Copies of this chain bind each other. A is one copy, B any other.
Amino acid sequence: MTTKTPNAARRSEASRRAILTAAFELAGEIGYAKLTIEAIAARAGVGKQTIYRWWPSKGAVLFDAFLMLSEGQLPAGVGDGGEAEGEAAVGDTAAALPDTGDLEADLKAVLRATVAELADPRYDLPLRGLTSEIMHDADLAALYAERLHEPVQEMKRTRLRAARAAGQLDPDVDLDVAVELMWGPVLSRWLMRTAPLTEEFADSVVEAALRGLAPKA
C-alpha cells in the first residue's frame, strides 16, 4: 500500500511516535488550551508541516496519542501513572478487570485506580483536553466511542457478565446501565469539580450500585 522503503517507513513511524509522545506530555504539562502544533513539533524535533500532513488538528493528534497509550505503545514513563492492579481507565494495557470472585472488592480496586489516575496531572490535563474535544465534536466522539471507549467498556461488561452468571447480579441487569451507574458518578464529579473525588466516594458508589443491581430477594 505504500511506496516507502523500509527505512523511510521506520523513520515515519519514529516521527509519528515522537509527535504523539510530545503531544501527550505537553498536554499534561501546560494543558490542552495552551497546546499548539508548533510546541508539539519543537518537542518532537519535526517540522510543523509533518504534523499537518498527518493530522488536521491538535485534537486529532491528542486522540491518536491516547489511542497509542491505550495500546501500550507509548514509551516507558509516559502515561505510566497507575500502580494499582486491575486499573481499567486510560493507559491500561491489561486485557481484563480483576476477577477474584469478590465483585465488590474487584470493582472498588478498579474504581479507586480510576480516581487515582484522574488525580494525576499527567492524565488529568490531557484527558480534560480530549474530553472537551469530544464534547464539541460529534465525529471525534464517535471515533472515541468506537476506538477508545468500547474496548474498555467491554472489559467492564465482561466482569459484570461473569458476576451476573454467578448469581451476584440480577439476571435482568442491563450491563451498560450497570457500568454507567459506577463510572458515571466518578466521571461527572471529576469533570464538574462539584465535590472532592475521593476513594471513599468511589467505594460508596460501588456499594450503593451493587445493592441496586443485586438479585431481587
Residues of A within 8 A of B (CB): 31-33, 128, 131-132, 134-136, 138, 141-142, 144-145, 149, 153, 173-174, 176-178, 180-181, 183-189, 191-195, 201, 204-205, 207-214, 217
Contacts and interface: CB of A to CB of B under 8 A. Distances in A.
A192 B149 contact: yes
15 contacts: A31-B136, A131-B135, A132-B135, A132-B136, A135-B192, A138-B193, A145-B193, A145-B195, A174-B204, A176-B195, A177-B204, A177-B205, A178-B208, A181-B212, A187-B192
A186 to B, nearest CB: 7
A73 to B, nearest CB: 23
Contacts of A153: 194
- Interface residue SS majority, chain A: helix
A176 B214 CA distance: 22
Contacts of A180: 185, 188-189, 201, 205
